[in-house]
Amino acid sequence: MHRRYVSIWFPFLLTDWYERKQPASKRMPLVFVISDHGRLMVSAANEAARKAGVDMGMAATDAKALVPGLLVVDEPAGQNEKLLRGIGEWCIRFSPVVAIDLPDGLLIDASGCAHLWAGEDKYLSEITYKLNAFGYTNRVAIADTAGCAWAIARFSEGQRIVVPGEQLKALLPLPPASLRPEKAVAEKFYKLGFYHISSFIHFPRPMLRRRFGEHLLLRIAQALGQAEEYLLPLKLQKAWEERLPCLEPISTRVGIEIAASTLLEKLCSRLAAQGLGIRQAVLRCYRVDGEQQQVEVGTGLPSDQPGHLFKLLELKIGQIAPGLGIELFLLEARKVEKIKPGQHAFWSDSGLNTSAISELLDRLAGKFGADHIHRFLPQEHYWPERSFERVDDLRAQPTSGWREDITRPVWLLGRPEPIEVMAPIPDYPPILFIYKGRRHQVKKADGPERIEREWWMDEGEHRDYFVVEDEDGKRYWLFRSGYYDGNKKNQWFIHGFFA
């Protein structure tokens, strides 16, 4: 089979990605910057910025001075490779061999593929059209060698198909940089006045080696097809799922449990081999009448323990209606994560990291519902309803500690509720209050505790909190909003209940 290679070049890879995320930035001059020896340097620029005179390698301060209103964004580390990997995996539909060509391109081994699109011209047009539709500016070329295709895609205007066997003819009018030499060698060519490949390509090889090094000869040989250039193809990640077709339809709970256990064993074995664990999994049951039943389970920490995961599934198997029978079981891990070695102490400061606690919480969540189990972490806010946050990940660490020097109710209302209060003046606790139509006579009270409003978040007045106990011995957390003023009626609220 005659070898054919496609090179795809993305001249605005990073900026196109950013403009896809932020459509409002499309018409703005935009650059990405990286830190280099304490200076911010331009690493990528969109078309508007380049037309205004911004070039890669320019200091960010110079670029800002050159282009007023320039949008400057810090370049995320490794973003080029991440983007190319994603686009490359999508391009596998055009060929099974797709390789990343850092920093801004892809190489495709298109041998034997173009005829499926009725020829190379339509093949390249389909690639260009699809990538443009995604918002990525691109240029593509096809040739007998990856090196020649790379050169044509980046340095040839108009041409994108090199006729088989004519790569030398296609390369002759191109600049020396199209051979992918080292940067110093490319600069040397221009200093010597060699602006086209035709100026030096026919020189004796020993002379080229002595003047420009062995690497240039290798690049020339690869571009002309005289030396092999190997691609490192992308591999699609295998789906984390297991299937179990049944010879006879399964309609009993025992049969479903055996199928679930078998699938868990296989899936957990695969995951454990790569140090991964399940966070979310779904068991799908395909019935003979065409209907589908499914149940889902989740874990607080990634788990590769089939016994633990089976106990979670076991709680939900009763929700599966087998009907006339199930002919296919499919277990899919929707979310997997790396498993980190955990602590083995049950009661300790790091107890939440133990697998035992996680498994216990998983079972409680499976039995009573995930909405009935919450974990809260402290937040640095004055307002009580903002002083905590709800988290789902057991590994989340607090950024501050819980305050233990102040009294807080065991049940805090999500939003304070207004109440009717009778209180002496000024700044005295109430002597009675009415909540939900019931009158509470206050026997004991403590306070006030003044909590200021967070003026940088919203406007309003402070709160004066009182802990009060009624005639039944029940304790409540009440507050008055704002200062006492004889000319106006202060609003009172109930905000929590003590044990």
- Rounded average pLDDT over 404-432: 83
Q: Where are the domains of the chain?
A: 1-28+69-236, 242-338, 411-497
Query: What local confidence, expressed as pLDDT, does residue 236 receive?
Result: 74
344 confidence band (pLDDT: 50, 70, 90):
low
pLDDT at residue 389, rounded to an integer: 82
110-115: long-range contacts (C-beta < 8 A, 24 or more apart)? 110/4, 110/5, 110/6, 110/142, 111/1, 111/2, 111/3, 111/4, 111/5, 112/1, 113/4, 114/4, 114/142
The residue-averaged pLDDT of 12-19 equals: 94
Measured between alpha carbons, how far is 267 from 247 in angstroms, rounded to an integer?
A: 21
Q: How large is the average pLDDT for residues 70-74?
A: 90
The predicted structure's pLDDT at residue 368 = 76
Q: Output the pLDDT for position 342.
A: 56
d(CA 491, CA 267): 60
Between CA 496 and CA 336 the distance in angstroms is 39
Q: Which of 131-145, 312-326, 403-417, 456-470 has the highest mean pLDDT?
A: 131-145
| Mean pLDDT value of segment 392-405 | 76
What's the pLDDT at 262?
Answer: 93
Query: How far apart, in whole angstroms, are the C-alpha atoms of residue 194 and residue 78?
Result: 35
207 and 248 in contact (C-beta within 8 Å)? no
434 pLDDT exceeds 60?
Answer: yes
Structure tokens at 208: 């080229």
Weakest-pLDDT range from 138-152, 173-187, 338-352: 338-352
Q: Count Cβ atoms below 10 Å from residue 457 Cβ, excluding itself.
A: 11
Q: Which CATH superfamily is domain 242-338 in?
A: DNA polymerase, Y-family, little finger domain (3.30.1490.100)
CA dihedral 453, 455, 457, 459 (to 10 degrees): 80
Q: Are 366 and 312 in contact (CB under 8 A)?
A: yes
Q: What are 74's two structure tokens?
A: 């810090």
Helix segments in 320-434, DSSP class H = 355-368
Report pLDDT for 415. 85
pLDDT digit string, tens, across residues 203-218 = 999 999 999 999 999 9
pLDDT tens column, 441-468: 988 888 788 888 877 777 778 888 999 9
Query: With 90 as the cut, is the pLDDT of residue 138 above it?
Result: yes
pLDDT score of 356: 73
According to CATH, what is the number of the domain 1-28+69-236? 3.30.70.270
Q: Give pLDDT, residue 124.
A: 94
| Model confidence pLDDT, tens digit, residues 256-295 | 999 999 999 999 999 988 888 888 899 999 998 888 899 9
Per-residue confidence band for 402, with pLDDT thresholds at 50, 70 and 90: confident
Answer whether residue 153 shows pLDDT above 90.
Answer: yes
